Structure 1
Amino acid sequence: MQTISFENVADQWLTLKKMQVKPSTFVKYQTIWEVRLKPSFGQYQLVEISEEAVMTFFLDQMEKTSGSLLQTMCYLLKAMLGYARHKYGQPTISFNYIKLPPAKMRTSTLSHDEEVRLDEYCFSHCNDTSIGILLGLYGGLRIGEICGLKWADIDLEEGLIYVQRTIQRISDTSSTKKTQVVILDPKTPSSQRIVPLTDFMNQFLKKYQASQTDVVADHFLLSGSDVPLEPRTLQYRYHRICKKLDIQLTFHGLRHSFATRCIEQQIDPKSLSEMLGHADVTTTLKRYVHSSLSFKKEQMAKIKSAVLFAE
């Protein structure tokens, strides 16, 4: 077997992967390699990587690393070693004995009272920030998708939103700048979608449009120019409003809240899955839908005893 450092193997794998994944995903992989994996495996020759070394590494990491990050680290190391097996004849290293904790799903949603407070604030402030927040809460759009909307993507006659791009700030590996804002295709092919507007959101968008001095089809909805509003700017404004309203919820929690309310109001899960941009309905039900305790009680109240309530 050819003598080669594992760092060299990792660099080769990352170079190939860069052509296969979105820039933001590549930056994530590269960062995890540099910060998490390279300090422990970068100094090894490929032949020195063993199952014992891999097992020891993850046993140590499990005590101080989140489940989600552990899962990604495991994927990267396994993929890099798989590449080494095919190209350099590296013996197979089994990961079967590594049992990682599952990634924790975010479960927070707005309570009814919080939703009322946020509604009252946003609908009484017809501006770009309110529009952005309400599209998350009543459209289930991701923050990058909201910032990526142009006026041309909004059909107020038919009451439709066309999700065609997303805005992200990612690490810039090609210049001296630390990060850069990029305009990308949506997260996955299924994320490029058409989302119907509720009647009240359609009317509020018409009101917002009427308040603008110059509406250009190719300009971004929230910024009113050909330069998009940054997601972190919208996030900052959202958290400032939440602090004022005594609400503790991430911006992505608006998407959770939307999905949960839709299920509680018996909206078809398949339709909801498509509106959220998921490839299948299982992802929707598993990741985003969190019924409130009161809703669960209502559902349980529908169950009747065959004996006690027999006619």
Structure 2
Amino acid sequence: MATIRKRSEGTYQIRVSCGYGVDGKQRKQFKSYKPEPGMTPKQIEKELTRQAVLFEEECKRGQITSAVKFEKFTEQWFEEYAKVNLRPASYARMKQFTKRVYPAIGHKRLDKITARDIQKFVTDMLVNGKNMNTGKPLSRKTAVHHLSFISDVFSYAIRMGMLTDNPCRRVYVPKQEQDEKQIYTIDEVKKLYENLRSEPMKYQVYLLLAIYSGYRRSEMLGLEWKDIDFENNIIHVRRTSQYTAEKGIYTDTTKTRKSKRVSKMPVSIMNLLKHFKAEQEAEAAQLGTKWEDHDRLFTKWNGAPMNPQTPFEWLKGYCERIGVPFRNIHSLRHLHASLLIFEGVDVVAVSSDMGHSVVGTTLNLYSHMFQEAKARNCDAISNALSFTNDIGTEEESPAEDDTETETEQQVLAL
């Protein structure tokens, strides 16, 4: 709201509050107004009101405020907002995004960045961007994540009163043909199982439990022995195990509220867990005071929580040793989902089993699988109603048959 103050020399000062700057201090803008000679007090009052409204609108449009560079403001956003409100893993991921964002728009003033600037950055990522680890082209999902990061920064600037518009709203991320999910075939799973006994017990348990449960890697590594109910053959998912370079390995909450769930397990898996528990207790007893008791199922040699990268490295090496294509660690979760879908489990039940927050997530991730399963339903109905298969196959009467028999052709030839 603009305020007006009369000065002694016959001029007026218009003051507008423009929110807060990156240093947390309130920003104010001032404008002087001097009435034209001969104006009446009523005319001056009316013009002052008009000038105040125009000046306030000018400030709101960001024409005066937000002269800070995008990179500088984003670093302030990390300190003021992200570090307080985001999970450490999300915070670390956002920091990684700056490696591409800052060279593109970090040098520009916050209020000068247009939707076209951001559109150019997003399009260039999809056309020319390469994955830093694999060298493969960047996915649409990666572009969406970067755009979401930029949008979060602009949204914060709006809340701080520094801007009134978020240019990311007008940016379009081009669609790409979705790659088919990499999933182990049943034959590959059979080969993985047949050679598994030569591997350490903890990896035997990890592989089979991952397939039977469909848990995320962070959920698997967050499992503790108190989560295993041997009496009722169920497992509780209550936490995750995460890693960042800054914090190291740490315990966190589940990804969403619905990710906290209970899974019923077959007797074979529970017996394997009992055997694994006995082996781990024997190792702890042998190490004595060197053993760190964290109650985790999956640990390092001394009982400390296992690094999230360890299962990935083991599975990759194991696949190479037995001649099975490595399809990444998350494909075990996709395999679990595909087995449920192809066995006719409905989408709501699959979503609950996978720990998705909404059913729409499950449909988006596995729409192709649900379509294939639905197509097979047609065959199931045909098989069940096989007694109707002769419908529409009536033989034509001889009188209507225009084809000539061999005897008729011989008679006509005479």
What TM-score comes out, normalization by structure 1 length? 0.85
Which residue of the partner structure matches residue 250 of structure 1?
328
Unaligned runs of 5+ in 2: 1-63, 130-137, 285-292, 393-414
1:25 to 85, 90, 111: 90
1:81 to 151, 154, 158: 154
User: What are the equivalent positions in structure 2 for 1:47-62 lying under 5 Å apart?
Assistant: 47-62=111-126
1:137 maps onto 2:211 in alignment: yes
Distance in 1 between residues matched to 2:193 and 2:95, nearest whole Å: 40
Q: How far 1:163 moved relative to its partner?
A: 1.3
1:113 maps onto 2:208 in alignment: no
Distance in 2 between residues matched to 1:302 and 1:36, nearest whole Å: 51
Q: How far 1:66 moved relative to its partner?
A: 2.2
Which residue of the partner structure matches residue 255 of structure 2?
187
Distance in 2 between residues matched to 1:26 and 1:284, nearest whole Å: 26
Aligned-residue Cα RMSD (Å) equals 3.0
Whichever residue aligns with residue 159 of structure 1, its letter is N
Q: How far 1:157 moved relative to its partner?
A: 1.2
Distance 1:21-1:94 versus aligned 2 partners, 3 A rule = closer
Unaligned runs of 5+ in 1: 173-178
Which residue of the partner structure matches residue 241 of structure 1?
318
Aligned residues: 304
Which residue of the partner structure matches residue 297 of structure 2?
221
- Residue pair 2:118, 2:168 contacting (<8 A) in 1 also: no
- Name whichever of 301-310 and 158-167 sits farther off: 301-310
Q: How far 1:25 moved relative to its partner?
A: 0.7
Whichever residue aligns with residue 142 of structure 2, its letter is L
Distance in 2 between residues matched to 1:283 and 1:140, nearest whole Å: 15
> Secondary structure of the residue that 1:109 maps to in structure 2?
coil
Whichever residue aligns with residue 228 of structure 1, its letter is P
Distance 1:254-1:283 versus aligned 2 partners, 3 A rule = same
- Residue pair 1:219, 1:225 contacting (<8 A) in 2 also: no
Q: Give a deviation string over 1:1-53, Cα, whole Å, max 9, x none.
A: 322222232123333123222110111112202x0111111111223212332
- Residue pair 2:83, 2:91 contacting (<8 A) in 1 also: yes
User: What are the equivalent positions in structure 2 for 1:1-311 lying under 5 Å apart?
Assistant: 1-2=64-65, 3-15=67-79, 16-33=81-98, 35-63=99-127, 64=129, 65-86=138-159, 87-93=161-167, 95-101=169-175, 104=178, 107-122=181-196, 127-172=201-246, 180-214=248-282, 218-223=294-299, 226-248=303-325, 249-288=327-366, 291=369, 298-302=376-380, 304=382, 308-310=389-391
- Residue pair 1:169, 1:180 contacting (<8 A) in 2 also: yes
Distance 1:113-1:293 versus aligned 2 partners, 3 A rule = farther
Distance in 1 between residues matched to 2:370 and 2:353, nearest whole Å: 21
> Secondary structure of the residue that 2:167 maps to in structure 1?
coil
Q: How far 1:102 moved relative to its partner?
A: 5.4
Whichever residue aligns with residue 308 of structure 2, its letter is P
Q: Which has the higher contact order (CA 8 A, sep 6+)?
A: 1
Distance in 2 between residues matched to 1:263 and 1:123, nearest whole Å: 29
- Residue pair 2:311, 2:329 contacting (<8 A) in 1 also: no
Distance in 1 between residues matched to 2:225 and 2:177, nearest whole Å: 37
Give percent identity, aligned residues only: 23
Whichever residue aligns with residue 322 of structure 2, its letter is L
Distance in 1 between residues matched to 2:245 and 2:344, nearest whole Å: 41
Distance 1:290-1:236 versus aligned 2 partners, 3 A rule = farther
Q: How far 1:214 moved relative to its partner?
A: 4.0
Which residue of the partner structure matches residue 175 of structure 1?
none
Distance 1:183-1:121 versus aligned 2 partners, 3 A rule = same
Q: How far 1:127 moved relative to its partner?
A: 0.3
Distance 1:59-1:279 versus aligned 2 partners, 3 A rule = closer
Distance 1:149-1:225 versus aligned 2 partners, 3 A rule = farther
What TM-score comes out, normalization by structure 2 length? 0.65
- Name whichever of 259-268 and 67-76 sits farther off: 259-268
> Secondary structure of the residue that 1:113 maps to in structure 2?
helix
